[in-house]
Amino acid sequence: MQKSDSFRCGRTLVKANESTNALIKKCGKPVRKYSSKETVSQNGRQSRVGVSNWVYERRGKKDMIVSIRSGTVMKLQLD
């Protein structure tokens, strides 16, 4: 998978740190969702946290996977 800083939904741009409400408003509902665990560093400690991954299909392009934690877009990846 390739990491991305942003991706376009129609005429709007989605970036990390946006809320899930903003994501849905810009892109609609994802075609599918799945959960995973990721290791994050906070205050010098590493811990495993649950992440929701939302998949958006893009016509003629690779799917965009949006990783969400606590209602916020954390990461964007091309699949």
The boundaries of the domain holding residue 36 are 2-78
d(Cα 69, Cα 20) in Å, to the nearest integer?
9
pLDDT tens digits along 4-54: 788 888 889 999 999 999 999 999 999 999 999 988 887 889 989 899 999
Q: Which amino acid is at 71?
A: G
Name the percent of the chain in helix, strand, coil, to the closest 5: 10, 60, 30
How many domains does the chain fold into? Answer: 1
Spatial contact of 60 and 8, defined as CB atoms under 8 Å apart: no
Total-model pTM: 0.84
